[in-house]
Homo-oligomer: A and B are copies of this chain.
Amino acid sequence: MSLTLTPIPGIPMIKPGDDLADIIENSIRAAGIQPQNDDIWVLAQKIVSKSENRLVNLNQVIPSKRAFEIANKTRKDPRFVELVLRESNYVLREKPGALIVEHKAGFICANAGIDHSNVEGDGRETEDWYLLLPESSDDSARRIRLKLENAFKLHFGVLIIDSHGRAWRNGTVGTSIGFSGLPGLVDLRGRRDLFGYKLQITQVGAADELAAAASLVMGQADESQPVVLARGFPYPLRDGRISELIRQREEDLFR
CA A50 to CA B15, docked complex, whole Å = 53
**A220 with B201: CB separation less than 8 A:** yes
Is A143 engaged at the interface, CB distance under 8 Å to the other chain?
Answer: no
Residues of B within 8 A of A246 (CB): 168-170
* A200–B131 CA distance with the chains assembled, in angstroms: 13
Q: Are B217 and A216 in contact (CB under 8 A)?
A: no
Interface centre among A3, A4, A13, A127 (most CB of B within 10 A): A3
Query: Contacts of A185 on B, CB cut-off 8 Å?
Result: 170-171
Bound complex: CA A194 to CA B200 (Å): 45
Interface residues of A, CB < 8 Å — how many? Answer: 74
The reply on A213 being an interface residue by CB < 8 A is yes
Pick from B203, B215, B216, B221: contact of A172, CB under 8 Å = B203
Protomer copies = 2
A130 to chain B, nearest CB (A): 11
Task: A208 to B170: give the CA distance in the assembly, Å.
Answer: 10
Q: Are B253 and A95 in contact (CB under 8 A)?
A: yes
Of the residues B98, B166, B205, B221, contact of A192 by C-beta under 8 Å: B221
Contact of A252 among B167, B199, B211 (CB under 8 A): B167
Q: 25 A–B contact pairs at CB < 8 A?
A: A1-B7, A3-B4, A93-B253, A100-B253, A108-B167, A117-B193, A117-B197, A117-B200, A166-B166, A169-B205, A170-B205, A170-B246, A171-B208, A172-B204, A173-B209, A191-B221, A193-B221, A193-B222, A201-B220, A204-B215, A209-B213, A209-B216, A211-B212, A213-B216, A219-B234
